[in-house]
């Protein structure tokens, strides 16, 4: 019996399958390591949050208010310290629209909220189950 020195088709498919699974696993690990943006003030934190809402909440109407965004995100089950976030939001709005001084702090809760909604598409409904993904 003559032994073939070439690699069989089945062996090539197995190697290709392992390589593709390794790439998929590396992609999942890379997504989990997305680092939050570095912000130094509340204004920047809310700009980051605004950008995340525009990108990852597809059915948010143009010109939405922060109140609409908060209600939509709460309704979608996004879990953050809402009391702390709303306190920071009140201070930010007083600064932005009321002429008060910029709040101290870095707006950590706004950045946390931004990262949580980047992890899922808020507003998406699973058509088979009628629920939102976790």
Task: Check: CB of residue 114 under 8 Å from CB of residue 88.
Answer: no
pLDDT for 62 beyond 90? no
Q: Which residues have a Cβ under 8 Å from the Cβ of 53 and sit 6 or more positions away?
A: 60, 64, 69, 117
Tell me the per-residue pLDDT of 91-102, one tens digit each, with 9 for 90 and over: 999 998 888 888
Mean pLDDT to the nearest integer, 110-123: 76
> Which pLDDT score is estimated for 77?
87
Provide the mean pLDDT of the chain.
80
Mean pLDDT to the nearest integer, 54-76: 88
> Which pLDDT score is estimated for 47?
92
* Domain residue spans of the chain: 42-118
> Which pLDDT score is estimated for 31?
66
Q: Which residues have a Cβ under 8 Å from the Cβ of 118 and sit 6 or more positions away?
A: 34, 52, 55, 56
Residue with the bigger pLDDT between 33 and 45: it is 45
Q: What is the pTM of this model?
A: 0.63
């Amino acid at each position: 019996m003559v032994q073939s020195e070439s690699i069989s088709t089945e062996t090539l498919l197995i190697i290709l399958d392992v390589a593709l699974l390794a790439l998929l696993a590396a992609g999942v690990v890379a997504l989990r390591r997305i680092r939050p943006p570095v912000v130094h003030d509340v204004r920047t934190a809310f700009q980051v949050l605004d950008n995340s809402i525009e990108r990852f909440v597809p059915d948010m109407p143009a010109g939405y208010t922060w109140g609409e965004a908060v209600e939509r995100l709460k309704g979608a089950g996004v879990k953050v310290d809402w009391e702390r976030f709303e306190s920071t939001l009140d201070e930010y709005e007083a600064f932005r629209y009321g002429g008060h001084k910029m709040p101290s702090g870095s707006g950590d809760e706004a950045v946390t909220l931004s990262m949580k909604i980047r992890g899922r598409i808020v507003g998406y409904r699973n058509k088979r189950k009628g629920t939102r993904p976790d």
